[in-house]
Chain A
Amino acid sequence: MAFYRPATYQKPLAIALLIALFALPTALTAGGQEFYIGFASRVLIFALAATSLNLVLGFGGMFSLGHAAFFGAGAYAAAICMSNGITDALLALPLAMAAAGLLALSIGALSLRTRGVYFIMITLAFAQMAYYLFISARSWGGDDGLPLAGRMTLGGLSLGSDSALYYAALACLALVIAFLGRLAEARFGRVIQAIRENETRMEALGYPVFRYRLICFALGGALAGLAGALLANLTGLASPNLLQWMQSGTLLVMVIIGGVGYLYGGVVGAVVLLSLEEGLSGLTVHWHIGLGVLLLGIVLFAPRGVAALFGKRHG
């Protein structure tokens, strides 16, 4: 089976991409298309969220349908930080990650006893519980969500402009990708992948399988929380919508489109899905049909995801 390892030529490609992404806001501004900076930020943030799910799903082999809970928890943590005067991202973002990570740790500890479809459903069940709790929590705005008074600052720098937030999101995504790339090569990464491939053998070899899985699950949750906190900054709102199961489904679809277990799978999936949405919804009100047909096409003709068309998974 496959390994979560970038092909060698991907590194220069990644650097080139990073440079291009770095120049994007300037280019968009010059072209009078400032709106797309906000759109690009949203894509980056969803790319981060999808990547965090890919860590859990593709890397750890845990098919979670409750990832939106951590995404939403991060957003709420950010909004709660803001309303309590913690406006510096250097403090608020780690707090959001910690909150989402702790939530993931506790949900994971209960859920990881189950396997396969049962795991899918128990993660979904916990996410639904979180959704109903947030929607009825009046002090956090309930259905209306919890608005942020403004955007965070980053060590004194304001994230108020769309470009500033874009760069913050880009930096987070790049750091996370670099970190995960290293993690895949490190001992932890190798063990967790080996567990994905053959759990029984790893158990027999004396590895604490449950603990490894749990750490991977919690790490994925924390990274989703980071994405959620960034999204709350972008939209100025933490809303229970973020915890809906359809949101988990959307993240899952992004990962599957992009390529399960590919380092860039989440990124590719977010770019493809959100661009399709953006492009198709401009053409017709009935764009969902078009999107559905395209997704079916991907399942039938590129079953291993779009990333698989470009990069090879090493085995």
Chain B
Amino acid sequence: MSLRLTTLAAALLLASSAHAAEQIKVGLLSTLSGPGAGLGVDIRDGFNLAMKHLNGKLGGLPAEVLIADDQQNPDVAKQTADKFLKKDKVDFMTGIVFSNLMLAVGPTVFENKTFYISANAGPSQYAGEQCNPFFFNVAWQNDNLHEAVGKTVHDKGFKNVVIVTPNYPGGKDAVAGFKRYYAPKEAPAGGKGKVVDEIYTKLGQLDYAAELAQIRATKPDALFFFLPGGMGINFVKQFVAAGLSRDTQLFAPGFSADEDIIKAVGAPMMGMFNSSHWAHDMDNAENKRFVADFQKEFGRLPSLYASQGYDAALMMDAAVRDVKGKVDDKAALQKALEAKRFKSVRGDFKFNTNHYPVQNYYLRAISKDATGRVTNKTMGTIFTNHADAYVAQCKMK
């Protein structure tokens, strides 16, 4: 670029700062390769479907969505985020699946005063002490779905529970989330049940025969597992083949039992319970349109990741419309985002002071639907207007 052009561009930039932007740019950085790619692809497809529904516009302004692959690698994620922020000068960022990548990218995004709308990763850090005005989570806080399972297992009166999770901090957080509502120290219901065993497995483990034998010997009446991705598929297949599903009820957070996993495991998953803030059979007009069009467009049922990607786009759209396209007015844009003036496919929810959702969580069971397809069916509400456990530590500036 010649010097004259640069000056011109700079002048234009200065002049436009008080006016509406001509175009909205979104940087969607997600895991699109490697074993975690299924989740990132769903977020991307959900986001793209929303863009199609919005005729390619956000808040009435033409929008450009830049898509990049983080390869599930923090330093690649950081570098690509840098490119979005410094080279492409995006107005919003979204798309990251995994919390460790979110924590790697977050500081740069916030420093750059760009709004990040998380369509999945909900690390406790950003919900609590490190909460940031530029971070919004349109999905959940990581612990929420585990808490919802804990509540369900407690309410259904299961007495002996075994937990299986990989030996890494994410797994230990899941256990903490589950226990927060399953056997709280001052349990209102007396906390009659107990966790008889916590089994920590290797990250990326293939074979679970040893653990399954141990579980059989323990004879629990319920089993809660949090094994992301392929590990969960391995575990469920082997659990059912071992015949353990006859005596032990399986529970998992929604992301271990959504359409992507069901598609890979099929009938053996029937009868399993899981928790989610969204389900494809939720009865509202927005959701019906989303699910129908997603199936038409991509030939598969959407997962909760897709719904979150879809909502992230709607959220940007509503906020840009709210500020009349003046996305450079950060304070106004923050207010507009906080106000949440869009209709989510999960029904109503609002943002807490830490920019994480306060919303309902539902119990889903995997069964055959009317057409004979194995899929999730919503059974009832676990939590109403549930907030995360970290919000008290957040002192939002």
> How many A residues touch B, CB cutoff 8 Å?
32
In A18-33, the 8 Å CB interface with B consists of: 30-33
* Contact with B75, one of A42, A132, A136, A142 (Cβ below 8 angstroms): A42
Asked whether A241 and B1 contact (CB < 8 A) given A143-B100, A143-B168, A285-B69, the answer is: no
- Check B202 against A132 for contact (C-beta < 8 Å): yes
Would you give the 0/1 interface string for A124-148, flagging 1 where the beta carbon is closer than 8 Å to chain B?
Answer: 0000000010011010011111010
Say whether A281 faces chain B, with CB atoms less than 8 Å apart. yes
* Contact with A237, one of B67, B86, B104 (Cβ below 8 angstroms): B104
Say whether A35 faces chain B, with CB atoms less than 8 Å apart. yes
Say whether B295 faces chain A, with CB atoms less than 8 Å apart. no
- How far apart sit A145 and B75, CA to CA, in the bound complex (Å)? 11
- Residues in B with CB closer than 8 Å to A181 are none
Say whether B20 faces chain A, with CB atoms less than 8 Å apart. no
* Contact with B104, one of A32, A132, A236 (Cβ below 8 angstroms): A236
Q: How many A-B residue pairs have CB under 8 A?
A: 87
Query: Which chain A residue shows the least CB distance to B73?
Result: A241
- Check B86 against A35 for contact (C-beta < 8 Å): yes
Say whether A249 faces chain B, with CB atoms less than 8 Å apart. no
* Contact with A31, one of B1, B68, B73 (Cβ below 8 angstroms): B1
Say whether B192 faces chain A, with CB atoms less than 8 Å apart. no
* Contact with A144, one of B73, B79, B85, B103 (Cβ below 8 angstroms): B103
- Residues in A with CB closer than 8 Å to B107 are 147, 236
Q: Which secondary structure dominates where chain B touches chain A?
A: helix
* Contact with A138, one of B104, B123, B169 (Cβ below 8 angstroms): B169
- How far apart sit A288 and B34, CA to CA, in the bound complex (Å)? 10
Say whether A239 faces chain B, with CB atoms less than 8 Å apart. yes
* Contact with B167, one of A32, A136, A234 (Cβ below 8 angstroms): A136
Closest Cβ of chain A to B172, distance in Å, is: 7
- How far apart sit A30 and B82, CA to CA, in the bound complex (Å)? 18
Query: Which chain B residue shows the least CB distance to A38?
Result: B82
| Interface residues of A, Cβ cutoff 8 Å to B | 30-36, 38-39, 42, 132, 135-136, 138, 141-145, 147, 231, 234-237, 239, 241-242, 281, 285, 287-288
Given A39-B79, A144-B103, A239-B104, 14 other A-B residues pairs in contact with their CB atoms under 8 A:
A32-B9, A33-B87, A35-B82, A38-B82, A135-B203, A136-B167, A138-B172, A143-B100, A237-B74, A237-B75, A239-B74, A241-B72, A241-B75, A285-B33
Q: List 18 A-B contacts (CB under 8 A).
A: A35-B82, A141-B169, A142-B169, A142-B170, A143-B168, A143-B203, A144-B103, A144-B169, A145-B74, A145-B104, A147-B103, A235-B79, A237-B103, A242-B75, A281-B68, A285-B67, A285-B69, A288-B33
